Chains A and B, each alone.
Chain A
Amino acid sequence: MPDEIPRVPIALRVNGKRYALEVEPRLLLVDFLRRELRLTGTHVGCDTTYCGACTVLLNGVSVKSCTALAVQADQSEVLTVEGLEQDGRLHPLQQAFADHHGLQCGYCTPGMLLSAYQLLAKSPNPSEAEMRKGIAGNTCRCTGYQNIFKAIRAAAAQMRGR
Chain B
Amino acid sequence: MYPRPFRYHRAASIREAVSLLAELGEEAKLLAGGQSLIPLMKLRLASPHHLVDLNFIPDLSYVRPEDGLLRFGALTRHAEVEASPAAQQIPILHDCAAGIADVQVRNRGTLGGSLAEADPSGDWAPVLLTLPTEVVCVGPEGERTLPLAEFFVDAYTTVLRPAELIREVVVRRPPPGSGGAYLAVKRSAPVYATATAAVQLMLADRETCSEAGIALGAVGLTPIKAAEAEAALRGQRLTPDTITRAAEAASAACDPQPDGRGSAAYKRALVGALVKRAIALAARRARGEQVEVSHIYA
Question: For residue B41, which residues in chain A have a CB less than 8 angstroms away from its CB?
Answer: 26
Known contacts A25-B5, A25-B8, A68-B38: does B55 contact A133 (CB below 8 Å)? Answer: no
Question: For residue A136, which residues in chain B have a CB less than 8 angstroms away from its CB?
Answer: 102-103, 188-190
B83: nearest residue on chain A (CB-CB)?
A: A122
CB contact list, A21-50 vs B, under 8 A: 24-28, 31, 47-50
Q: How far is the CA of A49 from the CA of B31 in the complex (A)?
A: 16
Interface residues in B, total, Cβ within 8 A: 33
Q: Quick check: A25 and B102 within 8 Å, CB to CB?
A: no
Interface presence of B79 (CB below 8 A): yes
User: Which of B8, B53, B103, B105 is packed against the most chain A CB atoms within 10 Å?
Assistant: B103
Interface presence of A12 (CB below 8 A): no
Q: Quick check: B39 and A49 within 8 Å, CB to CB?
A: yes
Question: For residue A28, which residues in chain B have a CB less than 8 angstroms away from its CB?
Answer: 2, 38, 42
Q: Quick check: A49 and B35 within 8 Å, CB to CB?
A: yes
Interface presence of B161 (CB below 8 A): no
Q: Quick check: A137 and B38 within 8 Å, CB to CB?
A: no
Interface presence of B3 (CB below 8 A): yes
Q: Quick check: A62 and B5 within 8 Å, CB to CB?
A: no
Q: Quick check: B5 and A26 within 8 Å, CB to CB?
A: yes
Interface presence of A120 (CB below 8 A): no
A115: nearest residue on chain B (CB-CB)?
A: B103
**What's the least CB distance linking A118 to chain B, in Å?**
7
A28: nearest residue on chain B (CB-CB)?
A: B2
Partner of A71, one of B8, B35, B42: B8
Interface presence of A5 (CB below 8 A): yes
Question: For residue B35, which residues in chain A have a CB less than 8 angstroms away from its CB?
Answer: 49, 67
**What's the least CB distance linking B247 to chain A, in Å?**
28
Question: For residue B188, which residues in chain A have a CB less than 8 angstroms away from its CB?
Answer: 136
Q: Quick check: B107 and A62 within 8 Å, CB to CB?
A: yes
Q: How far is the CA of A142 from the CA of B141 in the complex (A)?
A: 56
Q: How far is the CA of A50 from the CA of B101 in the complex (A)?
A: 9
Question: For residue B191, which residues in chain A have a CB less than 8 angstroms away from its CB?
Answer: 50
Partner of B190, one of A25, A50, A119: A50
Q: Quick check: B7 and A72 within 8 Å, CB to CB?
A: no
Question: For residue B128, which residues in chain A have a CB less than 8 angstroms away from its CB?
Answer: none
Known contacts A2-B7, A49-B39, A50-B190: does B2 contact A26 (CB below 8 Å)? Answer: yes
Q: Quick check: A49 and B190 within 8 Å, CB to CB?
A: yes
CB contact list, B81-103 vs A, under 8 A: 101-103
**What's the least CB distance linking B295 to chain A, in Å?**
10
Question: For residue B34, which residues in chain A have a CB less than 8 angstroms away from its CB?
Answer: 67-69, 72
Q: How far is the CA of A88 from the CA of B34 in the complex (A)?
A: 36
CB contact list, B27-80 vs A, under 8 A: 31, 34-35, 38-39, 41-43, 49, 51, 53, 55, 79
Question: For residue B104, which residues in chain A have a CB less than 8 angstroms away from its CB?
Answer: 52, 55, 62-64, 115, 137
Interface presence of B1 (CB below 8 A): yes
**What's the least CB distance linking B50 to chain A, in Å?**
9
Partner of A48, one of B39, B53, B101, B102: B39
Residues of B within 8 A of A (CB): 1-8, 10, 31, 34-35, 38-39, 41-43, 49, 51, 53, 55, 79, 101-105, 107-108, 188-191
Cross-chain pairs A/B with CB under 8 angstroms, 13 sampled: A5-B6, A25-B6, A49-B35, A49-B105, A52-B102, A52-B104, A64-B104, A64-B105, A67-B35, A72-B31, A118-B103, A136-B189, A137-B101
